Each structure stands twice: as structure tokens, then as C-alpha cells.
A and B are shown apart, each in its own frame.
Chain A
């Protein structure tokens, strides 16, 4: 068997068999599914707490707030503020609403309580009073204008517009596309790459440090070339990462499917859509519904096979190339130090472009054709992340090829440099290494 395969096998198996790997692999999807379940449960669950609010109405408005659902309003006639305040205790009022005399002018009212009132109560009070005043004003205007059907006419002027985005394909064919999906997809993919590079790059680095501090390194490189060992480790760890990632996708999918089948029977896309549109502003519910329906159509129209393949292909390429580029650097850092605490000075130049890339990626999601997005997706250290944000929006072929070519070239160059550092570094013990020292290593010929 090829020695590099033997090394990959060991690197892979020794990590996959670890308890921490199994724990992380199986617990994370359960945790994610749990969080989702909790969020859905929170959203579905209505606020059923019964609350009574005392109202001191000093204005001339006639019952501007009315009891609704679980919130009851009690009007306190001929009660001073101080007496009312005591009632918070004696009558168990949740809060005290004081509507001032000049509410029409000041457009503000006060809600007193011992505890911070919930957002629902606050917005309920606000919207009730607002609706009440608006209705009064509107009927006054209608009366002044002397047009009985004015209200209907005004209502008819509401026109929500949905903008369908359609791209011209290379062959002149038109394709429906969704900006929202492109943004979400691009950003999600680039974030996954960012996480992956960091998590598994550090694993490569730790592996190198482990071999150094175990003092096994010299035994091994008397049997294999340092480059074989380095590449074997990088590839082995990448496979561990891919395994974990795949397991997460499969497990989370399975858990969500099983979970929703058990706990939320009859829940499908349309009912979710309904639920979410109802929770939006009730007055414009119908219009929103229409807009969302259009968006759903956009989304479905976006997912044709070619689009999916281009995104998937881009993801796999930039995912692997980006990881390989950075993990070679992480391996070089690991070889230069004796223990993990010493890695910090060398970590900065690696993590800086990565973090920068994430920010450029955010900018690119807003303006995928901008100069920052362009250069960020061409320069190799940031391109794996930034280009992935741009790909769902469609990138000219020459830019894509340029970016890929540069990434591959720099991967080869960086690996060559890293291998040189690695080769010397792994045999250096007990020496505080500086950048100057590393520069010297680069010039050794073997």
C-alpha cells in the first residue's frame, strides 16, 4: 500500500474512533434539532397569561382600549393616580394605563408597572389607541369631504407590487431567480467553509504539535518523506471533517423529519406560510400573503438543475481548495512551535484573512458586482469564502476560472513553502521560533 494512504488511514481512523468525535457528531444534530423544535414551539405557543390592566382615562376618548383575548382593561372612574397605584397590589393589576387629557396633541400615553411590561401588551395598547384615534379622525375627514364611499376608494389604492427577478441565461433562455435565496445560500455556504477551515485547520495543527511533543516525528520521517506525512495528515483530517459534515446533514435531516412527523402532524409548507403571514401585520395580511406566494414561486423557479449543479460544484471546489490552502499553513505553524500556547503569534496572519473574507463576504452579499467583492473573490486567501457568496448570483466564467486557477496555483505554492517550514520545524525542539528564523528555514535547500 502506498505510504501516504497508510498515513491518511491512520489520521482518519484515529480521529473518527475518538469518543469526542462520536459525541460531537451525534449530539450536534440533536442539539440543532432541539433548538429548532424549541423555536417552533415558542412561535406556535400563544401568550395565554391572563392580565388585568387598570385604565385612568383623562381624555375625552370613549373606551379607547377594549378587553381582548387574555388582556382585560378595567376603567377606573374617579380614582386618583395614587389610589390606582395601590390597586396594582390590592387588585392584582398587571399594569396601570394613564391616558392623558391631551393625547390627541401629545400622541403619547403612559403605562406604569412594577415589572417591565411585555412587548405584546405594549404593542396591543399602542395599536388599540392608535386605531381608535385614526378611526375618529378618518370619519371626521369623510364627513367633511362629504363623500360616503371615500373609505372604500382609499382602500382600493393599496397595491402591493412583487418584483420577479429573471436572469438571462448564457443561451439566451430566461431563468427565474430569487435574490433572497441567492443571498441566503451564498452566505450559508461561505460560513460553512469558514467554520470548516478553522475547525479542521486547527486539528491539523494540533496533530503536528502532537507528533512533535510525542517525539514520534523523527521515527516516522525516517520511514516517509515529511511531505507525505504532512499531506497524509491534511487529507486524513479533511476526510474526518467531511464525514462529520455529512453525518450532521443526514442526522439533522432525519431528526427534523421524524420530529415534525411526530409532533407537528399536518404541518406542510402552506400552513407554515399561513402561520407566518398571519403573524405579520394583520391589516395587510392578504397583501403579504400574495407577496409571499410570489416569493415562493421565485424560489421554486430558481431551483433548476443547472443552477444547483453550478452552486454545488463551486461549493465543493472552493471548500476543498480553501481548506487545503489554509491547512498547509496550519501545518507549518504547528511544526514551528513546541506547544499550542506558542501558536498565537503565527495564528494571526492566518486568521486575519479568514475573518476579513467573512466580512468581505457580507459586503459581497449586498453588492456581488462591487470592487470589493470582485477582488475579494479573486485574491486566493479570501476567494474561497467570497466567491461562494457571489456564485449564487451568477459570476462571469472568466472570473470564476481566474479565481479557481489562482487558488490552485497558490495552494501549490503555499504547500511547497509550508512543506519547507514543516520539514525543518518538526525537528526543532525547545527553541522559540521567530519569523526571522522561519525565513531562514525557507532558504535551506533540503
Chain B
């Protein structure tokens, strides 16, 4: 069952269209990656989901119901532009933000204490935010985003501005939440940062969705049958003995071994390739080159004859 759906969302601002009929479907308990360059329209879509702004046309469904005001209590949102009141104390401020999400003061306090204990930051409770480092503040922001146990979590550029340690902590907690049944939407231009944890991906480019599918399907669809072979031995001899269905894309000579990038055409399998190589040289490593989401994005844009320049 689809936990969240947006159908044919159109949003226009004076002078430009931010979304031209974009639809996405997010299944329950999955991690959905909304990818695309800056200015593609991702943040607009996310603001529509959060009811910060409304679509000009199109429908949004949350858990099967048309999106309405009460749903904000079940959504956790960590925006790209995020911050805290500098002069407020950490505990007080966390309680305030939780209350705005519909929690009672007692409930919020108890849950906050538990999370602060988990992150070992209980001693910050009475500190002012301005006394905290950026990394510390990010932890608070994360806790306040998930405190009300939202069913849908939305992260806009989640890893920008996080140091590697906090980013890993964040990833770990997000995966834990997913395992508990949370549905998660990531939005980012930094495709490499999320591709390994997304179950489903939608590519947005210039206000339109240009690609949509499960991570595995996309990777399968866009595999290029390109392999990398590193070896020691006579490379001239190897090259001479490869069949014509194997195309040599690139050759690199290293200190200890040579590397070839090969493309297999006309249904040649990786086993065929290995069989051809084995008699001639000693293999150090052998792997398929899987295109990154970035490569896939550029390919899709080129295939569809769309221009690549971003606004």
C-alpha cells in the first residue's frame, strides 16, 4: 500500500513554474530518494508535503486520506535551512517545538530526556543554544524532528552541514526508524550521499520528474556491461587474444599492475570474459562498473535531449 502519494502536482510562481505535474508514490516503511540538481523543484514539492505551501493543482494523499492540517503531527521535517532560537535553553526549546507538533508538555519532557540520555547529551538541557557547537545543535535538531514519532519523515539535504560522525549517526538512526516502520523521504542534490540507502528513487530535473523506480531496477536498467580488470602480465598478449565483442575503453598502467576498462557487447557474459583472460595474465581484481546515480542522471538528461544547464 502506498503510504504517501502526490499526483500531478503543479506549482507556479510569478515568472516560473516550480513543478510541472510531478507525481510520486512512497510505499510504507521504505526510504524514498528525491534526487535532482539545485533548483529542480525538490524543496517546493517538500514544502507542499509539509503544507507550508499549497499546490496550484494536483492531489496529495497521506495514508490514503487527502492531506489535511492534522497530518503535520505525523510528519517530521528537517529542512535544508534549519536552525534554533539562539537565546533559548536547549530543553525549553525542544519542549516548545514538540508542543507545536501537538505533544503534551509531560510527554515531550519524558521522551526528550530519553533521547538526550541515548545521545549522552543530558547535561546540555539547561544550556543556551548559542553555547553549543554546530554539531551539537544538529543533534538537537534531529531529536526534535523525530521526537513526536512521525509516520513520515522528510529530510531536505540531510547531510549538508553535518560532520562525518554526525552524518553516520544520523544514517544509523534513520535506518533504525525505517526498521520500526517509518516512511522516509530524502531530498538531495548530492546523489552519492543517499543512493546506497534508498529503496526507491525519483529524479527531478527542471520541474519535471525524469526517472522513477526502485533503486535496483534503475541500476539494472542502466547497467553498461562495463568491467574493470586489474592484472599482472603481458598486456599486449591479452589485448591480442580478446574477441571482437569486447571493447577496450581505457588502459592504465600502474606501478604494480595494469588495468583495463572493458565493455562487453552482443551478449558476452562476464564468465566469457574471464575465460578469455585467464590463460594469458594473472588477475588482481575483477569488478563490474556500476553507474552512479550522477552518471545515470546525466545519461537520462542526454537521452531525453534536455539541457543540462541548471538555473
Residues of A at under 8 Å CB distance from B? 1, 3, 6-7, 10, 14, 18, 210-211, 214-225, 427, 429, 440, 443-446
Contact = CB atoms under 8 A, between A and B. Distances in A.
B79 interface: yes
Interface residues of B, number: 32
Interface in B127-163: 141, 144-145
B187 to A, nearest CB: 13
Given A10-B96, A444-B14, A221 B52 contact: yes
Contact of A214 (B15, B47, B83): B83
B283 to A, nearest CB: 52
16 contacts: A6-B96, A6-B99, A6-B100, A7-B100, A14-B85, A18-B87, A215-B83, A218-B82, A219-B144, A220-B97, A222-B51, A222-B77, A225-B69, A440-B14, A444-B13, A445-B54
* 5 closest cross-chain pairs (CB), A and B: A215-B83, A223-B100, A446-B54, A218-B79, A214-B83
B17 interface: no
A14 B84 CA distance: 14
B14 A443 contact: yes
Given A1-B99, A219-B77, A14 B72 contact: no
Contact of B79 (A3, A210, A222, A446): A222
B145 to A, nearest CB: 8
A214 B77 contact: no
B14 A222 contact: no
Interface in B205-228: none
Contact of B97 (A14, A18, A223, A446): A223
Contact of A216 (B52, B85, B99): B85
Given A222-B72, A223-B72, A443-B14, A429 B81 contact: yes
B75 interface: yes
Contacts of A14: 85, 87-88
Nearest to B87: A14
Contacts of B86: 214
B242 to A, nearest CB: 55
B45 to A, nearest CB: 14
Interface in B89-106: 96-97, 99-101
A220 B82 CA distance: 10
Given A214-B84, A216-B82, A219-B77, 8 more contacts: A3-B100, A215-B83, A218-B81, A219-B79, A222-B72, A224-B100, A443-B14, A444-B14
A174 B159 CA distance: 78
Given A6-B100, A10-B96, A215 B14 contact: no
Contacts, number: 68
Interface string B20-31: 000000000000
A224 B72 CA distance: 8
Contacts of B72: 222-223
A218 B52 contact: yes
B235 interface: no
A10 B93 CA distance: 9
B50 interface: yes
A427 B144 CA distance: 20
Given A14-B85, A14-B88, A222 B50 contact: yes
Nearest to A443: B14
A429 B80 CA distance: 12
Contacts of A214: 83-86
Nearest to A7: B100
A18 B86 CA distance: 13
A225 B14 CA distance: 22
Interface of B: 13-15, 47, 50-54, 56, 69, 72, 75, 77-79, 81-88, 96-97, 99-101, 141, 144-145
B100 A220 contact: yes
Contacts of B144: 219
Given A215-B82, A429-B81, A440-B14, A222 B96 contact: no
A218 B72 CA distance: 13
B68 to A, nearest CB: 13
Contact of B52 (A10, A18, A222): A222
Nearest to A18: B87
Nearest to A440: B14
Contact of A219 (B14, B53, B82): B82
Contacts of A220: 97, 100
Q: Which of B15, B50, B81, B88 neighbours the largest number of chain A CB atoms within 10 Å of its CB?
A: B81
Given A214-B86, A440-B14, A219 B97 contact: yes
Contacts of A216: 82-85
Nearest to B73: A223
A34 B100 CA distance: 45
Contacts of A1: 99
B99 to A, nearest CB: 5
Contacts of A3: 99-100
A225 to B, nearest CB: 8
A443 B75 CA distance: 29
B178 to A, nearest CB: 21
A399 B210 CA distance: 64
Contacts of A6: 96, 99-100
A427 B52 contact: yes
Contacts of A427: 47, 52
B101 A223 contact: yes
Q: Which of B52, B78, B87, B101 neighbours the largest number of chain A CB atoms within 10 Å of its CB?
A: B52
Contacts of B69: 225
Nearest to B86: A214
Contacts of B47: 427
B141 to A, nearest CB: 8
A4 to B, nearest CB: 10
A219 B221 CA distance: 38
A214 B83 CA distance: 5
Nearest to A15: B87
A215 B100 contact: no
Nearest to A6: B99
Contacts of B85: 14, 210-211, 214, 216
A440 to B, nearest CB: 4
A236 to B, nearest CB: 12
A243 to B, nearest CB: 19
A316 to B, nearest CB: 30
A210 B84 CA distance: 10
Contacts of B84: 214, 216
Nearest to B154: A222
A219 B51 CA distance: 12
A223 B145 CA distance: 11
Contacts of B97: 219-220, 223
A97 B120 CA distance: 88
A150 to B, nearest CB: 81
Contacts of A440: 14-15
